[in-house]
Chain A
Amino acid sequence: MSATEATTADQATGKKLAPAETFRRLVQGDLSSVRVVLGLVVIAIIFQVQEPRFLSAQNLTNLMLQITTIGLISVGIVYVLLLGEIDLSVGAVSGLSAAVMAVLSVNHGWNAYLAIAAAVAVGATIGFAQGSLFSRFVIPSFVVTLAGLLAWEGALLQVLGKTGSLNINDPKITGLANTFYSDTVGWIFAAVIIGVYGAVLAFGYRKRVAAGLADGGPLSLIIRFVFLSALVIGAVAILNSDRGVPLAVMILLGFVVGMEYVAKRTGFGRHVFAVGGNAEAARRAGIRVNRVRVAVFMISGSMAAIGGVMAASRLFAVNQNSGGNELLLLAIAGPVIAGTSLFGGRGSVWTALLGALVIGSISNGMDLLSLSSAVKLMVTGGVLLLAVLVDAIARQQRQTSGRV
């Protein structure tokens, strides 16, 4: 409170912020992700104490591979959550899209990339249809996508036909989840990521300084840079000591970074946040709200398809269970656990990765301890409830302390 008063006059003229204000913004801005990272550390410690294999390079590599499908689907879910909507069809869509790819590749001998493109097109088309129904006829997205969930599961059975299962043998498809890069390539990845991140930070900072808008020195940027560099180097070192950096992880990272850029840095992303925050205000500001909604559901359908392709690649097959079980709920739970609000307008694509890591770690750790599915489901449910509670409490605090 006092920090706010102290800087009132300074800010209007675009001068430097007081350190207290910078600190407050740092805490507010990154609080949820810091919370999740701490949660991850706690989870890791608990499992490591019980089972020393948990933090082994081999298991961490397995963990990263296990979360790619959920993570990819969650990237699309984040966009839907930012609108304050829900897409219950992503699990079924991922199964159906993968089945379409498998049928085209195996039965019709299509080129692998064309078959994958067809799968993504199926996901995008379904998203377009569901998004249009939802926005044009103002049917709650919950209902539209629930209908979709049933219909696309039926379609999956139909596409797979009598055998109910298709084995994928095209190495281009199976390679997606089963390719590991050599140590050298892994280190090149690390260097490129660190270099690009550093360049983006430095360029952005220089631009703000030139415009006289720099708040605080470059210290926080340097801390972020060092932190990320350490993380990347550590991750590559661990992955290299096992089988190497997996292609699947690079694909997931690529989508997370790319879609985070779209969400936070582009006009479209800004409009998604605006519609999620106040659709009527967005409409009056001239934003074509329904177009944004349809586009978001197309993103969610496409990401579901991409996740489905990845799952099929890992399994070397598509079967009647593809996209089923708790995949849908975990893909939605992940971003929520990691801090994307269910109420719309708040969140980031990083939560797709962080949330998948939390859920993946719990599931992986309990597998290592050979706990039963009963325990696994109950624990995961408890973690989700806890995360949503934290979100709800944070929202209440914003409301009570926010407005004067």
Chain B
Amino acid sequence: MSPGAPLLELEGVSKRFGPVQALDRVDFAVSAGEVVGLVGDNGAGKSTLVKAIAGINTIDDGAIRFEGEEVSISKPQDATALGIATVYQDLALCDNLDVVNNLFLGREEIAPGVGRASRQLDEVKMEHETADLLSNLAVTIPSLRSEVGTLSGGQRQQVAVARSLLGEPKVVLLDEPTAALGVPQTKQVLALIRRLRERDLGVVVISHNLVDVFEIADRIFVLRLGRSAGNFAANEITEEQVVGAITGLGDRDKQEQPAEEAE
């Protein structure tokens, strides 16, 4: 396991949708300053796992611990309050608003003084904080006042990730952050993920793209048919072995000790 106590830890988590056992006694953990790649085939339970952590689905069984304490996450606000931020694949950006407004959407800064009565926006403060945050993350956007709809896919992804950081989270979940991106844009996003790690955040990256996962992940966690199918240190395993764990070829489902099976 990773050094130090995990920031977020799931133990024996199960989730059932009608007849489908979406998650079956899954153990999962992410530590501060660690990037965990969460991989698996379609329907393996990746999204269900992330939704359980993000508070969109409640778990049927098992325990979630955050910073060592057992917590219950039953709605998205619970996860946000704990310091868990999620960036979904569709990014949930308003294309007609500029970068600053998207970053502060739903948590606008209100100007002090007479403007307060009408909830007047403090545009200057918001723009200032946006510029600070983006330059800290080394994200370059042509203009903070350009509409998000005019940005490239990579820039939009970076804006979405930057937005998730405004609430000062400790864990960030990224759903397919590099899907549908070109090569240079993928590089930008991966670089951003590394900077999240440097900020000592726990990062969980769901991805289909094993090349990207190997490039950034410290640990690779494989789900198959709702069960843990492997938990590997990224530098001690090959891509073929991960593919084996994902597909289950040459590996008969022993969820507690899968790493040896893959050898």
Contacts and interface: CB of A to CB of B under 8 A. Distances in A.
Interface of A: 4-5, 7-9, 11-14, 17, 21, 25, 207-208, 211-213, 261-262, 265-268, 270, 273-274, 276-278, 280-282, 284-287, 344-346, 398, 402-404
A162 to B, nearest CB: 46
Contacts of A213: 124, 127-128, 131
Contacts of A278: 92-96
Contacts of A207: 124
Given A211-B128, A262-B118, A404-B152, A284 B97 contact: no
Contact of B140 (A12, A285, A346): A12
A280 B144 CA distance: 23
Interface in B58-95: 88, 90-95
Given A12-B140, A17-B143, A268-B119, A273 B149 contact: no
A282 B149 contact: no
B106 A285 contact: yes
Q: How many interface residues does chain B have, given as a range?
A: 35 or more
Contacts of A262: 118
B249 interface: no
B179 interface: no
Contact of B121 (A267, A274, A287): A267
B145 interface: yes
A21 B94 CA distance: 23
Closest 3 CB pairs of A and B: A285-B106, A345-B96, A277-B96
Contacts of A7: 142-143
Consensus secondary structure, chain A interface: helix
Contacts, number: 121
26 contacts: A4-B142, A5-B142, A7-B143, A8-B140, A11-B141, A17-B143, A211-B125, A212-B128, A261-B118, A262-B118, A265-B115, A265-B118, A265-B120, A265-B123, A270-B101, A274-B106, A277-B94, A278-B94, A280-B90, A285-B106, A344-B96, A345-B97, A402-B150, A403-B150, A403-B152, A403-B153
B248 to A, nearest CB: 35
Contacts of B152: 403-404
Contacts of A270: 97, 101, 105, 108, 121
Nearest to B149: A402
Given A213-B127, A287-B106, 9 more contacts: A5-B142, A8-B142, A11-B142, A212-B128, A261-B118, A273-B96, A273-B101, A278-B92, A402-B149
A274 B143 contact: no
B134 interface: yes
A197 to B, nearest CB: 17
